[in-house]
Structure 1
Amino acid sequence: MKKPLVLAVTGLAASAAIGAGVYSSAHKTIALDIDGQTTQVTTFSGSVAGLLEEQGIVLADGDLVAPSTSSSLSEGGEIVVRYQREVTLDRNGEQEVLKTTAVDAEELLDTFAARGDDNVRLVASRSLGQERVDIGLRLNHDGPVAILVDGKNTVIDGQHGEVEDILKAQGITLGDEDLVSIQNLATGATSVNAEDEKSTDKSATTGDSVEVALDGAAADDTMVTLVVQRVETETKTKKSDIDFKTVTKKDANRYKDQASYVATEGKKGERTRTYEVVTIDGKVESKKKTSDEVTKKAVDKVVVVGTKERPVVVTPPKTSSSSSSASSSSNSSTSKPSTGGSANVSGVWAKLAQCESGGNPRTNTGNGYYGLYQFSLPTWRAMGGSGLPSDASAGEQTRLAQKLQARSGWGQWPACARKLGLL
């Protein structure tokens, strides 16, 4: 670590105080240290202000000079000048502008390290265009520095100038979004640990003036490092399916007992999401959704069902060729129900059967209702029926329907009874 400036300033001020107020016109040789670069100059001037004027050195607010400009000069004296500069400091991902009189980046970072604030970094500015990279300070004017880029750590010996000069000398080309910073990293480090970059020290604030005025040094196993981080921004898309819906369409021209059918096959849709993904040295730094849209609409599956009632077909009663055969047929019918598919159903019962089942005694729609009068099994059996109503003769179905009507009224067939004016 470089000798703290405050100590050098204190020593110079003490020697200058001895000759304060004394003007000498004798020829003198003075050591002039301008930002760490020392040269020997000769002068007949008797004061610091006179020598600075001879050398064309103009001080601005915030610049340091020791001893003070009003101090007198003597043979073998030394004048130290430190120009104040603005640098951009990053801590915990937040940037602040800082004023400093440090000679180089190493000196400034060592100052923070002495405070216990190791995890700060200087951020290079590229505001002058992509061709220039600047941090406002030299890296290390009299010692080695490391360069960390693309996972490789290279140490360079000797004096070094601006960041831009070092990058060019090493043949390092920067991408438009690449980040450049100066940090104190472990010697030989091949990557930047994001957690190590975070600082818990919040003492410095924007606009603070930091001077090299503290004793102490950075750890021996660290080195001021020029870090180049490769930044890439990519647009990525993600596609996902959208399920289709199943809808039922009623067809008034299709009979209720007819099987349903698929009129339109369902097709899945597609949703496309777009993300902007930023990576630093290959690791995802941020992911931002930039769009979310349906790129293909789903097609509903359409199932058609009928709602039309079948017409009742009533078979007219058979006529006998003679009264005796009619009587015989009548007696036979009375003694034993017919097992055929038609029956002597007439009048209001014929109309009711037509409305309920289209007049078909074998009707079985699969919905739990059977025969001419659409009996449910519990009701059929309660009336004394056996088996399925649709297996019984039309006469038997009519007989039990009449029995049910006599007991419970026309309300057992609410829709058709209302349609026929029976309710």
Structure 2
Amino acid sequence: MTGSGKQSGHSGFSGDTDWFTPVGGAPTATATLDEPVWRSQFPDYYADELSFSHEDVLEALGPQAEELMAQANVDVDELIRLVNAETTVMPALILPDDLSVDRSMGEEDTEEQRAGVITALRSWKRTFLKSAVAAVLVTLIGGGAAAIAMNKSVEVEVDGQTHDVHTYAGTVGEVLQAEGISVNVHDSLSPSPNAQIGDGGKIVLERGRLLHLTVDGEQRDSWVRADTVGEALAQVHAPLDGSWVSHAAGDEVPLQGLAVEVKTLKTVTVFDGGNMPKQIKTTAVTVGEFMGLQHMTLGKDDSVKGGMGLKLKNGAEVHISRTGVTVVNRTEKVQQPVQKKEDPNMDAGQEKVLDPGAPGERIATYRITVKNGKEVAKVEIGSKITKKPKPKIVKVGTKQPDIGDGAVWDRIAQCESGGNWHINTGNGFYGGLQFDQSTWESNGGTAYAPRADLASREQQIAIAEKVAAGRGFSPWPVCGARA
């Protein structure tokens, strides 16, 4: 099958064309096409016809089709004949089970059945035809030359790790499939799986990893394309300035995902009992965790506003109520008792200290409750006298003042107050003779008692006689006239 005059044509297949029978057509010159130009001419890849077409052969050979055929000195038609001549056993064409039993492409088939058959057919061509064509070219050109001509060197990078692949595959997906590399929905692949790959091409695959991120107790899941914890947190914009992170930045994020916890830096103000407020920086999430980090404890009667489970935010306040109960002994003075001695020769209302006496001492036991530094309760639970007090002795006069005609004042008192010498109705007038406070004080009544109703009959009459000596009975205009 030699001869430089062989050229390829571009006509279609008839219904009588078998798998390997070439169809006639106008010859074309051999040339090497750039891949974009070549792809624009054959955009649909393998044809969906039940026969090999010119386009199928050119698809199998790739962008170097014309160059390879020129080296072998064959055209498309002759290449198809050679494939037919060297192939005695073809691989089975596997159709999906849900297609019709007769596997035919009759008019009665549904569009879905047709699509299934076409998909299976193209897959069959892709698997069989490329190897068959390669075998023929190896025979014509020579093993080394053909292999070099059809072989591509492709760089494959997976998560930053690169390796070179020598392949006959035409697309990115075929290269990865041959390498046993699968692509999942959350992965990033460049170029796309259906993109053609040429010699010197590069495939970059970044695998998606599920990051279970918890920030200050709030969890969210995010897919990231990162190998390390630091890269993953940067991709989700996690708050890291001063934060506590459960993993080091260089730790690996495995393909099956990773749970990472972040606790942000916060400034909280602590009000601890009666102490001055204090600002503390912390990465704690709750009050309980904060107190543990600060080595702060609570007594059985202490409490925290909001509870230990209260979540902290930047600028939060922690209020700790400290309630302490203690038992203390205190030395106290014991007030001396007063002993009164009556003196009939001393005017009533007058007193004279005969002996001041002296206070005693005792030890008193108290149960004291302190809250936030302030004493809120004190209960005496016992006492003991350690020094007895010495009584204070006071002489008290009992002599009543001399009065004139007491009968007149009795009649006035009967008229003013019904004869009740100790009456206090709250109307501003006091005693049997109804003194107002200013009259009682200005005439010396406080020498007997603070108010008139607290003085004796005789003392009230004595003050009334002082008033009458200067003003007559005018302070008692009605009752004085009747007396």
TM-score w.r.t. length of structure 2 = 0.31
Higher helix share: 2
Higher relative contact order (CA 8 A, sep 6+): 1
